[in-house]
């Protein structure tokens, strides 16, 4: 039913500018939450898929990756599709427009996306008020909700930690976990914050500001193995509760993408991300859990990440190309 609906809708959505299509779908979900929830069949993860992620009780291991519902416009829909947790954001302290459009490009033949969004954000105040509204009306999802934190483009690198702390403080009581995002390729200088010194400064500041929920860090796949190892160790030494890997890649390899700015996600990211995630699991050596992200288009890739030692998973591009029934299919595939 869900798959059929998406198959009928997809040609119209794929004929539109990708960001406009995205806004339309989330706009409808946000304006008519009751209606959209009403027509969306409930597909919770089947019993047996529960996992503990750094103390968070997830009904299933498959989560919504950051960037898809940045501002929490459709927060109550995701659990109905079978997601075991949801990550909103990236959220910056102040509202900002992000990079010039068009900034999302789809490559359906390769099931790939290149985006150069640059953290367009309503800013933390607007999102916090939206979350407070859901809490006060008793509409909070039953699955854990994480908030992915970023910095404003105009904030100098030396002051980056202050931005992360601002969002951390504003989100107190409104998130089940936080993710420090130092891995988007579209904010100048952001990925340099993955170096040991700047990273530890940010993580220590965030962990000092928020001690009641787990704090994760999200890493890029484009680090050399040695730097990746150092970064993972620095993050764990600072006290993070888990590592999310990976964000989009600057690598290309899909025809037509070479001259586009930004990061590539989707099917072509999978082998590369899996290799990096396998390294992250080895470097973490059981000290903290790892969440695998990158190119999960079906149960096969989901299993590969779990077999590599991941505790949980996240998906963005797969949902765009395969539709909302994907999560239920993955959950069923994992049970089988």
Ligand X SMILES: Cc1cc2nc3c(=O)[nH]c(=O)nc-3n(C[C@H](O)[C@H](O)[C@H](O)COP(=O)(O)O)c2cc1C
Q: Which of 184, 265, 283, 317 is catalytic?
A: 184
The DSSP-derived string for 168-199 is HHHTTTS-SEEEEE---TTSTTGGGGGSHHHH
Out of 30, 92, 168, 184, the only residue in the binding site for ligand X (CB under 6 A) is 184
- Binding string, 209-238, against ligand X, x = CB under 6 A? ---------x--------------------
- Binding string, 112-151, against ligand X, x = CB under 6 A? -x-x-x------------------------------x---
For 70-102, letters b (16+ CB in 10 Å) and e give bbbbbbbbbbbbbbbbbbbbbbbbbebebbeee
Give yes or no: 283 in active site.
no
Determine the Cα angle at 138 with ends 137 and 140, to 5°: 115
Out of 59, 84, 266, 289, the only residue in the binding site for ligand X (CB under 6 A) is 266
Which residue, 8 or 176, has its beta carbon nearer to ligand X?
176
- In whole angstroms, the minimum distance from the beta carbon of 87 to ligand X comes to 7
Which residue, 4 or 333, has its beta carbon nearer to ligand X?
333
Is 262 one of the binding residues for ligand X (CB under 6 A)? no
**Whether the Cβ atoms of residue 124 and residue 93 lie closer than 8 Å to each other:** yes
Q: How far apart are CA 86 and CA 328, in angstroms?
A: 15
Which residue, 8 or 258, has its beta carbon nearer to ligand X?
258
Closest residue to ligand X using C-beta atoms? 67
Which residue, 67 or 93, has its beta carbon nearer to ligand X?
67
* Cβ neighbours around 225 below 10 Å, total: 12
Within 220-282, strands assigned E span 242-245, 263-266
**Whether the Cβ atoms of residue 321 and residue 290 lie closer than 8 Å to each other:** no
| Residues in 4-63 at the binding interface with ligand X, rule: CB under 6 A | none
Q: How far apart are CA 71 and CA 74, in angstroms?
A: 8
Is 248 one of the binding residues for ligand X (CB under 6 A)? yes
Q: Which stretch binds ligand X (CB under 6 A): 45-53, 190-198, 231-239, 264-272?
A: 264-272
Nearest to 310 by CA among 44, 111, 58, 47: 58
Q: How far apart are CA 215 and CA 21, in angstroms?
A: 32
Is 86 one of the binding residues for ligand X (CB under 6 A)? no
Out of 26, 56, 66, 290, the only residue in the binding site for ligand X (CB under 6 A) is 66
**Whether the Cβ atoms of residue 6 and residue 323 lie closer than 8 Å to each other:** yes
**Whether the Cβ atoms of residue 254 and residue 264 lie closer than 8 Å to each other:** yes
Which residue, 148 or 278, has its beta carbon nearer to ligand X?
148
Beta-sheet pairing, 51-53 with 56-58: antiparallel
| Residues in 289-318 at the binding interface with ligand X, rule: CB under 6 A | 293-296, 315-318
- Angular region, 91: left φ>0, alpha ψ -120 to 50, beta rest: beta
Out of 30, 92, 231, 247, the only residue in the binding site for ligand X (CB under 6 A) is 247
- In whole angstroms, the minimum distance from the beta carbon of 294 to ligand X comes to 5
Which residue, 218 or 328, has its beta carbon nearer to ligand X?
218
Is 171 one of the binding residues for ligand X (CB under 6 A)? no
* Cβ neighbours around 136 below 10 Å, total: 9
Residues that bind ligand X (CB under 6 A): 65-67, 70, 90, 104, 113, 115, 117, 148, 181, 184, 218, 247-248, 265-266, 269, 293-296, 315-318
Residues designated catalytic: 184
């Amino acid at each position: 039913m869900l798959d059929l609906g998406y198959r009928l809708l997809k040609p119209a959505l794929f004929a539109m500018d990708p960001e406009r299509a995205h806004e339309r779908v989330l706009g409808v979900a946000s304006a008519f939450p009751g209606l959209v929830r009403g027509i969306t069949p409930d597909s919770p993860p089947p019993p047996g898929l529960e996992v503990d992620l750094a103390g968070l009780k997830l009904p299933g291991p498959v989560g919504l990756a950051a960037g898809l519902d940045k501002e929490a416009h459709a927060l109550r829909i995701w659990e109905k599709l079978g997601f075991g947790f949801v990550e909103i954001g990236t959220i910056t302290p102040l509202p900002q427009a992000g990079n010039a459009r068009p900034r999302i490009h789809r490559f359906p033949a390769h099931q790939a996306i290149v985006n150069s969004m640059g953290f367009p954000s309503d800013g933390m105040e607007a999102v916090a008020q939206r979350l407070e509204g859901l809490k006060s009306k008793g509409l909070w999802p039953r699955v854990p909700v994480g908030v992915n934190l970023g910095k404003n483009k105009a904030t100098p690198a030396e002051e980056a930690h202050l931005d992360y702390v601002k969002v951390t403080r504003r989100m107190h009581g409104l998130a089940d976990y936080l993710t420090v995002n130092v891995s988007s390729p579209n904010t100048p200088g952001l990925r340099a914050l993955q170096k040991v010194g700047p990273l530890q400064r940010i993580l220590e500041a965030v962990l000092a500001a928020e001690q009641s929920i787990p704090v994760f860090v999200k890493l890029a796949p484009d680090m050399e193995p040695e730097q990746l190892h150092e970064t993972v160790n620095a993050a764990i030494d600072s006290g993070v509760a888990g590592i999310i890997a990976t964000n989009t890649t600057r690598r290309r390899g899909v025809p037509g993408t070479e001259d586009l700015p930004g990061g590539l996600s989707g099917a072509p990211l999978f082998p590369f991300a899996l290799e990096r995630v396998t390294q992250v699991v080895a470097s973490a050596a059981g000290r903290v859990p790892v969440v695998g992200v990158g190119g999960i288009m079906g149960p096969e890739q989901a299993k590969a990440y779990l077999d590599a030692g991941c505790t949980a998973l996240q998906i963005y591009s797969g949902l765009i190309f395969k539709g909302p029934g994907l999560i239920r299919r993955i959950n069923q595939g994992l049970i089988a």
